[in-house]
């Protein structure tokens, strides 16, 4: 069970105070700290994208927030960004050297559900970004989670040997991987302590996403001549989801474009600002929705009472099917004939109701109460 404690931001009678906010989520008996940022123009009911940023080993959510600038990018581009802290400053990404045994997969899924529930974030536009140990965790989530994350971006974090051997994604995430060839912490070529190489990580995603064998390479602008490094972008073609790798020749275990002593180790490439490049890649990516588009006019659909302890009524025009999605991302198809849905089979909690027509869909948050 998860319990949420909120500080720094309040929501009363429909009024929302925007601020950088800290919460604590108790997951599996462990209090987990999270800091997040909501754009100043947000209003309740908006379905904004969600970006979860995962820090490296020994780091923290507030620390990675302080150096990346994702809050400013979120403000400009209208998405919610959050920075959870790993238990004991680590993520359980099945690393070759064990650093954590916490249920981080479940915790990150619960975190995504928290934002779906409290901020109606778009469940089809959830993204992960991770540095080092957080990058390993992002690959693990994309390989193993039953919750759809539309895209991931990783910096200096490959797949662990366990993740590589057992990667069997339920979805088709877009993937961007950034890595320096002079990374002394997570070697580009892999290692006994860190897992497989960048090449094997990219080949795993290439094969899963059915890309052409050889990516297209372009040299990115080498605007900084004193950083002793230069980036190349490899783009895989004819994939079912975007797959890219930015190879930083001579780059260290660092976020490119962030000149800080606390970000990592080794040479910092200053030819591009990696957080903005990451958001440019993630932006617009969406989980599969059977080729449907979200409807812009929801006036033809009414769902009530909400919350409900029994029957959920749906007023609609035309033929629609209904799906109930629980907090684990499990979907239950309910059919399309009735305008009433019995909620008796569901336990108390918060669910997503997906209403689908031939060419469009809408997602509504519903609350099931005890009888």
How far apart CA 268 and CA 250 sit, in angstroms, is 9
Using an 8 Å Cβ cutoff, are 355 and 361 in contact?
Answer: yes
**Mean pLDDT computed over 144-164:** 95
Run of H or E including 37: strand 30-37
More confident: 124 or 83: 83
The CA-to-CA distance between both ends of the chain, in Å, stands at 21
**Mean pLDDT computed over 296-317:** 77
DSSP, collapsed to helix, strand or coil, labels residue 65 as helix
Q: For 140-170, give the DSSP string.
A: HHHHH-SS--SEEEEES----HHHHHH---S
Percent of the chain with pLDDT over 90: 63
pTM of the predicted model as reported, rounded to 2 decimal places:
0.78
How far apart CA 130 and CA 163 sit, in angstroms, is 15
How far apart CA 148 and CA 142 sit, in angstroms, is 8
Q: State the pLDDT at residue 336.
A: 58
Question: Of 37-41, 143-147, 178-182, 320-324, which gets the smallest average pLDDT?
Answer: 320-324
Question: Of 136-150, 180-194, 245-259, 332-346, which gets the smallest average pLDDT?
Answer: 332-346
Angle between the N-to-C axes of helices 133-144 and 104-119, in degrees from 0 to 180, rounded to the nearest 10: 80
Confidence of residue 12 (pLDDT cuts 50, 70, 90): very low
Q: Reply yes or no on whether the pLDDT at 94 is more than 90.
A: yes
Q: Is 282 left (phi over 0), alpha (psi -120 to 50) or beta?
A: alpha
Distances (CA, A) of 9 to 50, 112, 181, 222: 18, 18, 42, 42
How far apart CA 115 and CA 147 sit, in angstroms, is 14
Cβ burial, residue 65 (10 Å; 0-12/13-18/19+): buried
More confident: 324 or 244: 244
Distances (CA, A) of 120 to 46, 124, 150, 310: 6, 11, 17, 23
Run of H or E including 283: none
Q: Which of 337, 339, 345 is nearest to 310 (CA)?
A: 345
Domains of the chain, start order: 2-282 (3.40.50.1820), 293-368 (2.60.40.3080)
Q: Which of 78, 63, 77, 80 is nearest to 9 (CA)?
A: 80
Lay out the sheet containing 293-294: strands in order across: 293-294, 360-368, 349-356, 321-325, 331-335
Q: What is the pLDDT of residues 117-145, one digit of tens each?
A: 888 899 889 999 999 999 999 999 999 99
Distances (CA, A) of 235 to 97, 203, 245, 247, 281: 31, 12, 7, 11, 12
Q: State the pLDDT at residue 126.
A: 96
More confident: 223 or 366: 223
Q: What is the pLDDT of residues 159-168, one digit of tens each?
A: 999 999 999 9
What is the dihedral sign for C-alpha 50, 146, 339, 319?
positive
Mapped to the 3 state alphabet, what secondary structure does 203-250 carry? Answer: HHHHHHCCCCCCCEEEECCCCCCCCCCEEEEEECCCCCCCEEEEEEEC
Confidence of residue 339 (pLDDT cuts 50, 70, 90): confident
How far apart CA 84 and CA 36 sit, in angstroms, is 8
Q: Reply yes or no on whether the pLDDT at 6 is more than 70.
A: no
Q: What is the pLDDT of residues 216-253, one digit of tens each?
A: 999 999 999 899 999 999 999 999 999 999 999 999 99
Say how many C-beta atoms besides its own lie within 10 A of residue 341's C-beta.
21
Please provide the average confidence, as pLDDT, over all residues in the chain: 87
Using an 8 Å Cβ cutoff, are 220 and 272 in contact?
Answer: yes
Q: Reply yes or no on whether the pLDDT at 85 is more than 90.
A: yes
Range with the largest mean pLDDT of 18-27, 128-137, 307-316: 128-137
Q: Is 77 left (phi over 0), alpha (psi -120 to 50) or beta?
A: alpha
């Amino acid at each position: 069970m998860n319990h949420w404690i909120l500080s720094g931001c309040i929501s009363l009678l429909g009024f929302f105070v925007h601020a950088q906010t800290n919460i604590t989520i108790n997951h599996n008996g462990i209090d987990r700290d999270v800091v997040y940022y909501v754009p100043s123009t947000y209003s309740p009911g908006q379905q904004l994208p969600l970006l979860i940023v995962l820090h490296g080993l020994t780091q923290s959510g507030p620390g990675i927030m302080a150096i990346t600038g994702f809050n400013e990018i979120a403000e400009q581009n209208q998405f919610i960004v959050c920075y959870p802290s790993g238990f004991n400053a680590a993520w359980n990404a099945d690393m070759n050297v064990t650093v954590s045994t916490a249920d981080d997969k479940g915790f990150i899924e619960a975190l995504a559900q928290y934002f779906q529930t409290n901020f109606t974030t778009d469940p089809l536009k959830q993204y992960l970004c991770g540095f080092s140990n957080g990058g390993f965790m992002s690959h693990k989530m994309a390989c193993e989670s039953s919750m759809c994350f539309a895209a991931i971006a990783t910096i200096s974090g490959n797949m662990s040997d366990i993740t590589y051997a057992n990667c069997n994604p339920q979805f088709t995430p877009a993937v961007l991987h950034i890595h320096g060839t002079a990374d002394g912490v997570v070697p580009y070529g892999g290692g006994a302590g860190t897992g497989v190489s960048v090449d094997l990580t990219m080949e795993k995603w290439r094969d899963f996403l059915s890309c052409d064998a050889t990516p297209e390479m372009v040299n990115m602008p080498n605007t900084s001549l004193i950083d002793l490094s230069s980036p190349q972008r490899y783009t895989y073609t004819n994939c079912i989801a975007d797959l890219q790798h930015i190879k930083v020749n001579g780059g260290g275990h660092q976020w490119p474009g962030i000149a800080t002593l606390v970000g990592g180790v080794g040479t910092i490439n200053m030819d591009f600002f990696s957080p903005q490049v990451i958001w440019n890649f993630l932006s617009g990516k969406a989980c599969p929705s059977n080729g449907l588009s979200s409807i812009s006019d929801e006036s033809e659909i009414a769902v009530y009472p909400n919350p409900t302890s029994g029957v959920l009524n749906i007023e609609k025009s035309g033929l629609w099917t209904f799906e109930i999605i629980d907090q684990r991302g499990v979907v239950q198809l309910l059919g399309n004939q009735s305008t009433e849905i019995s909620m008796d089979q569901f336990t108390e909690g918060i669910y997503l109701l997906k209403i689908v027509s031939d060419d469009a869909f809408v997602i509504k948050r519903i609350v099931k109460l005890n009888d």
